[in-house]
Chain A
Amino acid sequence: MPQIDASFFKPFVEGTLKTFQVQCKTDASHGAPFIKGTKPEPIFAIAGVIDISSSTFCGRISLCLTEAVFLGMMERMLDEPFKEITPELQDGVAELLNMIFGQAKVVLNEQGHTIQKAIPTVLRADQLVATQAKVVVLPFNTDLGIFHIEIQSDS
């Protein structure tokens, strides 16, 4: 198992549930964490990624969405239909991750972490490459399908 304390996950789970409920009017449920590569996964079309470097954790947090989940969430968030992931629309995944990260950061820093402000980036399907590092997957389910928060620790 990667050396990430389970208490590190909880603020990300809570931030994710709240973000999707408030901003996308979607109730998500979360499943048991697992190590990436040990279970079948959906084909993700887009991911928001934040690199974290602090005194207690170095790695990256990703929000990975299938095309159906991403387009559905954007439709619910902005009240307009979308048929494809355009360059203009794709920053929506970064913004959702930014909201999740912002909430988690407050809780983690209260616990003694020293996580700094970070700007999320967007990766499309062809940029989502497998990594040698161990990655903990926090799976979520919604009426639109499955999505993941993935936590990769470099330390």
Chain B
Amino acid sequence: MFSPDTHVLVVDDMMTMRKLVTKSCKELGFTKITDAADGALAWAAIQEANPPIGLIISDWNMPNTSGLDLLKRVRADGRFGKIPFIMVTAEAEQHQIMEAVKSGVSNYVIKPFTADILKEKLEAVHKKISAA
């Protein structure tokens, strides 16, 4: 599993979802959590964060810069391209999931979800990283 010291960035335009994801991260033991209300603010946080961001958990549907746009931007930048990126979405249609996978998403969480579901997804990502 990820270290509790991992700096987590939670991105969602809705305050209640930022609170929900942050609460779930705290339940999983994470102690350093930053949040951002849209993709542009998230990108700024990624560039300025100290300690560096070690995990991004982002909503998909956001105005202006969507979660998918943010994912593509992160993956295209050599400095941040390997940060694990979890997409949170209410859209569970196969073609949308495939689009995220093609763009390099590490895993995805379909809403509604619990902290246990998030934990399963994070463990799968960590296992994949450890095996690489």
Residues of A within 8 A of B (CB): 18-19, 22-23, 74, 77-79, 88-89, 91-92, 94-95, 98-99, 101-103, 105-106, 109, 117, 119
B113 touches A95 (CB 8 A): no
B16 touches A102 (CB 8 A): no
Residues of B within 8 A of A101 (CB): 90
B20 touches A88 (CB 8 A): no
Residues of B within 8 A of A (CB): 14-17, 19-20, 23, 61, 63, 89-93, 110-114
With contact pairs A88-B15, A91-B15, A102-B92 given, residues A117 and B61 touching in the complex (Cβ less than 8 Å): yes
Select one of B15, B90, B93, B114 contacting A98, CB under 8 A. B90
| Distance between Cα atoms of A79 and B23 in the complex (Å) | 8
| Distance between Cα atoms of A23 and B111 in the complex (Å) | 8
A78 touches B23 (CB 8 A): yes
| Distance between Cα atoms of A74 and B19 in the complex (Å) | 11
Select one of B19, B61, B90, B114 contacting A78, CB under 8 A. B19
Interface residues of A, dominant DSSP? helix
A77 touches B16 (CB 8 A): yes
Residues of B within 8 A of A91 (CB): 14-17
| Residue of A77, A79, A95, A109 with highest tally of chain B CB at under 10 A | A95
| Distance between Cα atoms of A88 and B89 in the complex (Å) | 21
| Distance between Cα atoms of A23 and B109 in the complex (Å) | 13
Interface residues of B, dominant DSSP? loop
Count of A-B residue pairs with CB < 8 Å: 56
Select one of B15, B19, B90, B114 contacting A99, CB under 8 A. B90
Residues of A within 8 A of B89 (CB): 102
Residues of B within 8 A of A79 (CB): 23
A95 touches B16 (CB 8 A): yes
B16 touches A74 (CB 8 A): yes
| Residue of B14, B110, B112, B113 with highest tally of chain A CB at under 10 A | B112
Residues of B within 8 A of A18 (CB): 112
**Min C-beta distance of B126 to chain A, whole Å:** 24
| Distance between Cα atoms of A19 and B63 in the complex (Å) | 23
A89 touches B111 (CB 8 A): no
Nearest 3 pairs of A and B residues by beta carbon: A102-B90, A92-B16, A22-B112
Residues of A within 8 A of B110 (CB): 102
Residues of A within 8 A of B112 (CB): 18-19, 22-23, 99
Residue of A with least CB distance to B92: A106
Residues of A within 8 A of B16 (CB): 74, 77-78, 89, 91-92, 95
Residue of B with least CB distance to A77: B20
Q: List 29 A-B contacts (CB under 8 A).
A: A22-B112, A22-B114, A23-B20, A23-B111, A23-B112, A23-B113, A74-B16, A77-B16, A77-B20, A79-B23, A89-B16, A91-B14, A92-B16, A94-B14, A95-B14, A95-B16, A98-B61, A98-B111, A99-B90, A99-B111, A99-B112, A102-B110, A102-B111, A106-B91, A106-B92, A106-B93, A117-B91, A119-B61, A119-B63
